[in-house]
A = this chain, B = another copy of it.
Amino acid sequence: MVRASEMSIRVLRVENRFVRDDRTLTHLCLVSRALGAEAIYLEDVEKDILGTVAEVNKTWGGTFKVILGEPWKTVLKQAKAEGRKTVHLTMYGLPLQEVIDQLRRLDKILVVVGGPKVPGKVYHEVDYNVAVTSQPHSEIAALAIVLHEIQSGEELRRNFASGRLKILPSPKSKKVVEST
């Protein structure tokens, strides 16, 4: 099993240009960042999202990156060339609980997240098609659970360096401290 701190995890969103939904893309970016991925690839996106993520990095720390404009085929090809295994999330795939032990042994991973109509080719070109239940729900939720499981929950303890603000966890209130 590879420790979360020694994993390199990236996320690729395969987009459908006809049903673009910037709110969902923002969630995918922030979830990827908060749960330990180092970057997300978006094929095409409003510049707003770059600004949102830059602002979150500045305020809350870390070096998470949004990489724009690479076609999904190029990203998959690059991943393979650098020995990165590709894991596509789909309700049609193999149950997460059956493949999780294999995924935890990988050190370089590209998690591929589709929208409503992913090209059939994606299913064939990835190393794993993985289902978080065989029920329809949310690519945001599926991504969260897969990042969480691959890292065995260690991502919840991750430290984000150089942020302006930091939360002091509290049972009943909001406590935030400013970095000095």
A interface, CB within 8 angstroms of B: 21, 23-24, 27, 30-31, 33-35, 56, 60, 90-98, 123-124, 128-129, 131-138, 140-145, 148, 153, 155-158, 160, 166-167, 169-176
Please name all residues of chain B whose beta carbon is closer than 8 Å to the beta carbon of A170 when the two chains form the complex.
Answer: 92-94, 129
Contact with A23, one of B21, B93, B172 (Cβ below 8 angstroms)? B21
- Report the nearest B residue to A61, measured CB to CB: B135
Please name all residues of chain B whose beta carbon is closer than 8 Å to the beta carbon of A94 when the two chains form the complex.
Answer: 169-171
Cα of A140 to Cα of B137 in the assembled complex, Å: 10
Query: CB distance B158 to A30 under 8 Å?
Result: no
Query: CB distance A30 to B136 under 8 Å?
Result: yes
- Report the nearest B residue to A132, measured CB to CB: B156
Q: What are 27 pairs between A and B in contact, CB < 8 Å?
A: A21-B23, A27-B141, A30-B135, A30-B136, A33-B137, A34-B136, A35-B133, A35-B137, A92-B173, A92-B174, A93-B169, A93-B170, A94-B169, A94-B170, A94-B171, A95-B169, A96-B156, A97-B153, A131-B167, A133-B158, A134-B166, A134-B169, A138-B144, A140-B144, A141-B143, A144-B144, A145-B145
**Known contacts A95-B157, A133-B156, then 17 further A-B pairs from the complex at CB < 8 Å, ordered by chain A residue:** A23-B24, A31-B138, A34-B133, A34-B135, A34-B137, A60-B136, A91-B167, A97-B153, A128-B171, A129-B170, A131-B169, A135-B160, A141-B141, A142-B144, A144-B144, A144-B145, A145-B145
